[in-house]
Amino acid sequence: MPVEIERKYLVTSDAWREDMAGTPYRQGYMCVSELATVRVRQAGERAFLTIKGATAGLSRAEFEYEIPVPDAEIMLRDHCTKPLIEKTRYEVPFGGKIWTVDVFDAANAGLIVAEVELTHADEQVQIPPWAGREVTDDPRYRNSSLISDPMNGSDQ
Amino acid sequence: MPVEIERKYLVTSDAWREDMAGTPYRQGYMCVSELATVRVRQAGERAFLTIKGATAGLSRAEFEYEIPVPDAEIMLRDHCTKPLIEKTRYEVPFGGKIWTVDVFDAANAGLIVAEVELTHADEQVQIPPWAGREVTDDPRYRNSSLISDPMNGSDQ
């Protein structure tokens, strides 16, 4: 079973951002329940439908399928809870891993979150100096929560 | 936009069933909301993820993607509301159209429903003699309702 293991941190400085080009993301949720979260994401010129299971510690079952962009545009418009999440994603190399830095916009403008994917749940990773408080277990920082309860920089 | 237009009837006799081979279906729902219904279906040796929008008269937006059978098996086991829908589907030619006849099993054993897809909302179709009451607009006969409120032959 495909499983996602990740750690998530708030970003506290701009030191990671060296003229890097990001990819615009727009995403929404068709459902968020204890059994499954169904997400539609438009990422640059591509689009994906993603099913995530309930979180078990750091791990979470995840299935992702690429779908046509026009389908995603209709689903984001008609079949997802509003407001949508809008953010720009940067891939930042640090300590032999690729960190994903999401700079949020719209309702969550000011929020910047960094994530790293682990290969197993107890892998030790080097934490970058621009990463602040760990929020892996804080449900308020799930993208699915950021729709109903937006966060901005001042909430951090 | 892909749109589904269909009419649905209860089946009142076995006259349609001439030694026909059916396909076993197993399906479940990850969410049923006003915005979207997300269904996982295993149909014989194939599997599909289907998003349906809210119903507008006879029409309904529908997006369907084929997915790997092992993914569907996990989703049906862990990420769908129980009980699942189990049925055998038959494709029955009548009056120049293909009618889909679903013979339900498990919690809905005894229920048999026939559906025909229309090319436009006011297309006239010939109704087979084995089709009884029309239930197109009866929400109790939606597969997504048959999970929470099963129907069996005696409810008809």
Active site residue A65: no
Three-state DSSP class for A73?
helix
Structure tokens at A38: 């169904």
Supply the DSSP symbol for B133.
Answer: E
Please report, for the domain that includes residue A125, its CATH number: 2.40.320.10
- Check if the interface score ipTM surpasses 0.95: no
How far B85 CA sits from the closest chain A CA (Å)?
17
- Helix (H) or strand (E) holding B109, with range, is none
Three-state DSSP class for A147?
helix
* Whether residue A136 has pLDDT greater than 70: yes
Please give chain B's pLDDT, 156 residues, in tens: 556 788 999 999 888 887 788 999 999 999 888 889 999 999 999 999 999 987 666 667 889 999 999 999 999 999 999 999 999 999 999 999 999 999 999 889 999 999 999 888 788 899 999 999 999 988 888 888 888 888 865 554
- State the pTM of this model: 0.81
Of B63, B108, B147, which Cα lies nearest the Cα of A72? B63
A58, A86, A145, B120 from A72: Cα distances, Å: 28, 14, 20, 24
Instruction: Sort strands B59-67 and B46-56 into parallel, antiparallel or unpaired.
Output: antiparallel
A1/B74 Cβ within 8 A:
yes
What pLDDT does B19 receive?
Answer: 78
Mean model confidence pLDDT for chain A: 89
What is the spatial distance between Cα A71 and Cα B136, in angstroms, rounded to a whole number? 26
The domain of A117 spans: 3-155
Condensed to tens digits (0 to 9), the pLDDT of residues A45-65 reads 999 999 998 766 666 788 999
What pLDDT does B148 receive?
Answer: 80
Find chain B residues with C-beta within 8 A of A65's C-beta. Answer: 49, 65, 67
How far B53 CA sits from the closest chain A CA (Å)?
6
Q: How many domains does chain A have?
A: 1
